[in-house]
Structure 1
């Protein structure tokens, strides 16, 4: 009888602890990623010099590559610079924009990528997706997931609290994304992958009612675990479906329509997830998500994001065009303008206090 199995690419190492950055050389050697120290280290042009000073003595033979992260042009330029050397791996040190640029560049030159996260704002720290600004606004690019992840809790505690809390909104939004995926299966025949859905749902539910907050090491470890599980969910599915539905369409629309007001991705998708649940008439999920977001100081309604109700309504109307082919509650309802305005106003009234 044949044994049927599925091979799932997963990180060789996930190191989450205080002082993890000081073990970077050991982590790379133990995972057989690099024992020679022949590495390309990618950092943001604004990286704290104290952080660089902690890493440089461990890897004296490494080459440093500053990058103005977050754009497709910057990522392509980084790839071109990497081609000039010979490296075992590329190590990205920074937040989401730097890591997304590094993942994309490493994929172009065929090198494994190690993510050293300096904040926990979104699931890009372990996902097979790079979100980069391009000439059309913003695009999602499939890339190999990081081969290893290093999270130093001392570094995370030094990051702006808002950039850590945002990761909570990113993870909780999985519940809305999964509801959209199930809708897409029922109506549009887009099959749900059960294993992927299990990873994404477990990630969200592990934080939903968890006591504590970002001041607690145990909560930070749980947040990292959830972000990793979200990344694995997308890797298993081969698509961002398990973690990206109407909530992410709305966030991308806000970024494209109001770049001068761009908020943190995790904050925006959290609001989008509550609103999408409200549109589904799933008030239990909407209220549960809203309660959890508020407990961690995250926004729930548009004014708390710094945008007006009218701007949010415009973003919801534009949202489906950000992900052609993605079927969510927004595509399903296809509200005419008057009904959409009414739905947004009712949402703000219901959850604004």
Structure 2
């Protein structure tokens, strides 16, 4: 009896709170916003869009000169950059020092955006340890370093905020050759899923951004291990990607909308939203489509290998002819 009387039934207010989630950051105006990877691609576009929305920015990127150029562009547009510093988010000691500097000069963030990322594709027999390590170090541990260095202050302040983590379509779907990349992107998806509920009681929203094709410099620099990017067939596939890719500005708009509407899943294009829904609702058809896609990638790899072998044979023949002369 004593135990029963000590338990309280949930009030109507507490039940309502289970279903109605307030929006912690309905506007970016005058909000302090940290963005990593701000020197190019989605990060740059998001920084510019946030500045236009009246945000007070804290920016970082590993590319110092490009970061300075973005800061100058924002200031030219009468935006506000409170603090910026170039550095590597995969280096925890650097991130911790960066956070101490931000805390001292700027204060607690209202919004923290983990946008910085790198990419490498390849089959398991072609990928090297360095590829796996770099994906996890930058794409997973980088955001974790930022989260542990900036989010606790938001919790202690007690006035809410928002966290954005950029994953990928490869964090939702079994895309061919993406094992190392997906290890990091599925990882940050898991972190975000848990923090979505852990941080809710502190009125801190969480958004997981899952871009599909976005026309950024990352597309041209992605390390496709074991493939000759100069091969005509590979070039055709890359050109086809550009035809369906959205602009970084469209991705940035989706991210800011996700923050101000407190959306957990943020898609930058309909194809990924539909693909993820399809994978969850129709398991067998999804498996068949993934097998077809994997076969397509395998075909491209064999084409590349044949072209490389033919090129090597031509060079060997040319060298032999020269020696004979």
TM (norm. structure 1) is 0.34
Q: More relative contact order in 1 or in 2 (CA 8 Å, sep 6+)? A: 2
Task: Report which of the two structures shows the higher radius of gyration computed on alpha carbons.
Answer: 2
